[in-house]
Amino acid sequence: MAKIAILGAGVMGSAMAVPAGSLGHEVDLVGTPLDEAIVRAVAGNGWHPRLGLALPATTRAHDWTRFPEVMAQSPDLVVLGVSSAGVGWAIDRLAETLRTPIPILMITKGLHANGETIEALPIVVARQLKARTGLEPPVFAVGGPCIAAELAARRDTCVVVTGATAEAARQAARLFGAPFYHAAASADVIGVEVCAAFKNFYALAVGTAAGRLETEGRAENGAAMHNVAAGLFSQAIAEMAVLTQALGGDPASAAGLAGAGDLYVTCLAGRNSRMGRLLGLGRAYSEAKAHDMAEDTVEGAELARALGPTLERMVATGRLPGAKLPLMSAVLDAINRDRPLAWDFARF
């Protein structure tokens, strides 16, 4: 039996308590300042209001101010379940409490742009913790098609865990090796993280097919636009491979769970697909966001805004092959310049 600390009590962080708890591990679920209502509910009767079920009895919920106490108990693994916007806050909490190089598993998706290039978040986290603590904890990440509610309901879920070596990633994954949680191992940290982040970005493009169908209507024979969506999906996979290779990863990851698998799930439903539909209806991004999705975080659009200037600078300097990334350019124009998200299949 292991001790696992999860920082972040949102749906995905909390769902990780289910495979861990099913194996008998002790789980300390620590909320962020935004998770106070969730922490109170789980601490009261185990019920997680956003997942709609009770977490395993081995789960203990804590306010974030008790994170130092949890870390003082020397957990075997720390899971970062915060949003990408909360990574800086999580690094602060870890830097304050790490006394030994406890392994860290990130389910947070995202990339970091410094103006010149783009880095995977696990690399950034590891570097900052070494600079601030002198320690070098192994930092792993999870990618792949994992809807939190399905995992919490113990539906079969296939993911990929990545780290410095495949064997190290495999050992980290064993802590969650429940019969319904199937984790492959990979040493391609960059490829897995690039795909995990960009799948939200490209889901915007695939989602436009639904909006265009509503605008143009079905054909006389009832035909829809599945071919269009499939063409956009295929181009998205090809471009994720190009981006992965240019950033130093293995392009094969784009065809795996972190790429094609996660993009498939993301295109089925969710905020990125909803925004894609609005763009396909001909709406400008800023107007659609303000009037239809003002309270929603659209991860793909946030990535476009955060990475857009760096991506375009890398294309301009030849570090990214712009001719092979026409769909990326179209999404950046739609999100950052309010231009129509136009397809040009001749450039694919």
Secondary structure (3-state) at 146? coil
The DSSP bridge partners found for residue 225 are: none
Q: What is the mean pLDDT of residues 237-266?
A: 97
Tell me the CATH number at 40: 3.40.50.720
Q: Which of 147, 168, 187 lies at the terminal end of a domain, its last residue? A: 187
pLDDT for 260 equals 98
Q: Minimal CA–CA distance to 102: which of 242, 240, 6, 15?
A: 6
- Of 187, 222, 244, at which residue does a domain stop? 187
Q: Which domain CATH number covers 310? A: 1.10.1040.10
* Residue 2 and residue 136 in contact, taking contact as beta carbons nearer than 8 Å: no
User: Do 122 and 172 lie in a common domain?
Assistant: yes
Whether 9 contacts 104, CB under 8 Å:
no
Q: 1-5, 106-110, 205-209, 243-247: which range is least confident on average?
A: 106-110
Are both 156 and 208 inside the same structural domain?
A: no
- The C-alpha torsion from 72 through 90 and 269 to 59, rounded to 10°, is 10
What is the CB-side half-sphere exposure of residue 177 using CA atoms within 13 A?
Answer: 11
pLDDT band for 343, please (50, 70, 90 cuts).
confident
Same domain? For 22 and 77 the reply is yes
209 lies in the same domain as 156: no
Q: What value does the mean pLDDT take over residues 125-150?
A: 96
Mean of per-residue pLDDT scores for the chain: 96
Amino acid occupying residue 230: A
- Assign 227 a pLDDT band (cuts: 50, 70, 90): very high
Q: How confident is the model at residue 132 (pLDDT cuts 50, 70, 90)?
A: very high
Q: Which of 103, 153, 152 has the alpha carbon at shortest distance from 129?
A: 103
Query: Are residues 213 and 167 located together in one domain of the fold?
Result: no
What pLDDT does residue 83 have? 87
C-alpha to C-alpha distance for 116 and 302, rounded to whole angstroms: 19
Is residue 117 located within the same domain as residue 209? no
> Across residues 224-243, what is the average pLDDT?
97
> Residue 311's CB: how many other CB atoms inside 10 A?
23
Give residue 1's pLDDT: 87
- State how many domains the chain has: 2
Please count the CA atoms within 13 angstroms of the CA of 23 that sit on its side-chain side.
19
Same-domain pairing of 125 and 268 = no
Mean pLDDT of 65-80: 97
Q: Indicate whether 213 and 182 sit together in one domain.
A: no
Residue 135 burial by CB count (10 A; 0-12/13-18/19+): exposed, middle or buried?
middle
pLDDT given at position 115: 79
Structure-token match 């406890």, residue found: 102
Q: Are residues 112 and 196 in the same domain?
A: no
- Each residue's pLDDT tens digit, 30-56: 999 999 999 999 999 999 999 999 999
Q: How many CB atoms sit inside 10 A of residue 222's CB?
A: 6
CA torsion 52-56-58-59 (nearest 10°) is: -20
Q: Are residues 167 and 294 in the same domain?
A: no
Tokens 């995977």 correspond to what residue?
Answer: 120
Prediction pTM value: 0.93
The per-residue pLDDT for 28 is 98
Say which range, 13-22, 59-68, 108-117, 190-199, has the weakest mean pLDDT: 108-117
Residues 209 and 119 occupy one common structural domain: no
pLDDT value at position 252? 97
- What's the token pair of residue 297? 């975080």
User: Where does the pLDDT of residue 109 fall: very low under 50, low under 70, confident under 90, or very high at 90 and above?
Assistant: confident
Across residues 54-83, what is the average pLDDT? 96
Q: Do 115 and 220 sit in the same domain of this protein? A: no
Range of the domain at 64: 3-187
pLDDT for the residue 85: 84
Which range has the worst mean pLDDT, 24-28, 119-123, 331-335, 342-346? 342-346
- The model's pLDDT over 262-308, given as tens digits with 9 standing for 90+, comes to 999 999 988 999 999 999 999 999 999 999 999 998 999 999 999 99
Residue-level pLDDT at 84: 84
Of 187, 214, 242, the domain-final residue: 187
